[in-house]
Amino acid sequence: MADPERNTVSPWKLLPKVELHLHLEGSVWPQDVRELARRNHLPSAELPAKAFARQFQYSDFPGFLLAFKSVTEHLCQPRDYAWVAGRLMDRLGAQSVIYAEIFISGGVILKQRKPLDEIVEAVCEVTRTDGPGKGTEVNWILDITRQFGRKLAEEVVDAAIRLRAAGLDNLVGVGMGGDENSIEANEFKHALGRAREAGLRITIHAGEVAGPNSIWEALDILKAERIGHGLAARQDERLMRHLAEKSILLECALTSNVKTGALQRIEDHPLKHFLRSGLAVSLNTDDPALFSTDLEKEYDLAETALGFTREDFVSMNRSALEHSFTSPGSRASLLELFERRLSSPQL
C-alpha cells in the first residue's frame, strides 16, 4: 500500500473542501497500524513487512471488510483511537478540508468489547481541541454494522443517545454501513427511529453493492437524510427524480467503488451523471488508507476521468455544506469561510 505522503501537488490542493463520508478506522495507514501493533505488544508487530502488508490486500468487498477488521483489531485503547484521530486531522488540514463528518464504527467497537463511550469521548475531544488550529471543523457519526444485527444496533443507538445527552455535541448522527445484503432494513427501523427522535441525524450506506431497492428502503423505512454511495440510483429514473426533488445527498467515492469491486473503472462512476441530473452529491475518500488515496487524488480523478471542472467542485462542496449535519450557526459560518477562501488570489 502506498505511502500517504504525496509526491506531486494537486491543482486542487488549496480549494476548500468538505468531506461527509470518511471512516476513522479506514484512515489508518499501514505504517500507523504497525506502530499501534508495537505500542500494544501485538503478535503482528513481529511479522515481516510483506506478511504484515498482506492483511490489507483484498480483491472484493468481503475481502475489504476483513482488511477493515484487521485495522480495528490494532486499535486497543481509547488513546489509540485518539492518536489516529489526531493523525487524520493533520492530513485533512493539509488538504484544505474545512469541514468533515467522520464515522466511527460503534458496532465493531462493541463487538470487540471495547469501551465505546470512552473511545467516542476521546476522539471527540481530539477534534474539538485540535481541529480549529489545523483548519478543519469535525463532527462525528456513530456507525452501526449491518451484519451484526438488530441487538447490537440498538446498543450503538443507546450509546449515541447517552453521549449526546451528556453534552457531546460534536456527535451529530448515526449511520449504518457494512454488508447491505445481509439483513433487511426493517430490522433497524426501531433503533434508527429512536436515534432520530433524540435529534441525531441519519445516513445509510445503500446502493453500493445492492440494487435501487436498498436505497428506497433506506429512505422509506429508515428515513435516511443522506445516502452513502448510492451507485444503484442510476438504474431507477423514479428514484433519481425522488432524490433530486427531496434534495437527498449522495455521499460518493470514486476509488472506493473500484477497489471494492462495485465498479470496474473510475470512468464508469455515475457521479457526473448525478450532478448533471440535479442531484445533491459530495466527493469523499471513504477509507483512504485502505484504498491508497486522499481527497486531492479523488479530485484529480474526477477531473481527468469524469471531466469535472472547478465550477463542478465548487457547486459540489457548497451542496455538501448545505447537507451537512452541523448546527445552523456552524453551517452559516462554514459557508462564509468557504466563499472567502474561494476568493483568495491563490485560487
Identify the bridge partners of residue 177 per DSSP, sorted by sequence position.
145
pLDDT at 172: 98
User: Which CATH class name applies to 17-341?
Assistant: alpha beta
pLDDT at 2: 47
Known catalytic residues?
Answer: 208
Give domain limits for the chain: 17-341
113: left (phi over 0), alpha (psi -120 to 50) or beta: left
* 188 in Cβ contact with 203 (< 8 Å): no
Q: Torsion angle of alpha carbons 133, 336, 272, 203, nearest 10°?
A: 70
Along the chain (347 residues), what's the average pLDDT of each consecutive run of 10 residues?
Answer: 59 95 96 93 87 82 86 96 96 96 97 97 91 88 97 98 96 96 96 98 97 98 98 98 98 96 95 97 97 96 97 97 97 96 80
Q: Could you tell me the pTM of the whole model?
A: 0.94
pLDDT at 1: 47
* Closest residue by Cα to residue 273 from 238, 240, 246, 228: 240
pLDDT at 6: 56
pLDDT at 187: 98
* 74 in Cβ contact with 36 (< 8 Å): yes
pLDDT at 7: 58
C-alpha cell at 63: 475481502
pLDDT at 128: 87
* Closest residue by Cα to residue 116 from 71, 67, 74, 157: 157
